[in-house]
Amino acid sequence: MRFVREDEIRVARPVAGRFTAEVWEATILEPIEKDGMRAYRFTYDPGARSLWHVHEGEQAIFVLSGRGVMGLWGQTRGVEIGPGDWVHIEPGEKHWHGAVPDDTFVHIAVTASGKTEWFEAVSDEEYRAAFPEESYWPDG
């Protein structure tokens, strides 16, 4: 058994090629077994987002603060999420997540097992289309 205290957690910029803008990553749990369960806390500036990606194992996202959006491959509109919301991502589901344009977004991501495969960036057009309300875009 291992306990992780908040003052042990170090925050850094994620490895290049996984996010499009200002994001901070805190490693909470490192896997005990090869490609085992791991957990991170991510903090996104407004408008920051991940690239498209898939996980070999299940992933759970828990929103701590701010507002974010989840996008799923093949769907134009995203789903807005906020504090207290959980998202359960199935193995192999191609998706992205990030902050809404006018708020920061902080979440915990727990991945059960396996690797993560990273793909292309979420384009500005895909990002903009993810929001069901035009009120995010003052220029119409």
Where are the strands (E) in 9-119, listed by range?
11-12, 23-29, 38-44, 53-55, 59-66, 68-72, 79-81, 86-89, 95-99, 105-111, 116-118
Q: How many domains does the chain have?
A: 1
Domain assignment present for 46: yes
Q: pLDDT tens, 48-106?
A: 999 999 999 999 999 999 999 999 999 989 999 999 999 999 999 999 999 999 999 99
Q: What is the DSSP letter of 136?
A: G
Residue 23 placed within a domain: yes
Q: Has residue 1 been placed in a domain?
A: no
Q: Is the pLDDT of residue 138 over 60?
A: no
* CA distance linking residue 125 with residue 7, whole number of Å: 39
Q: Is residue 139 part of a domain?
A: no
Q: Tell which residue, 55, 54, 66, 56, has the closest CA to residue 106.
A: 66
The residue range of the domain holding 106 is: 6-131
Residue 102 located in a structural domain: yes
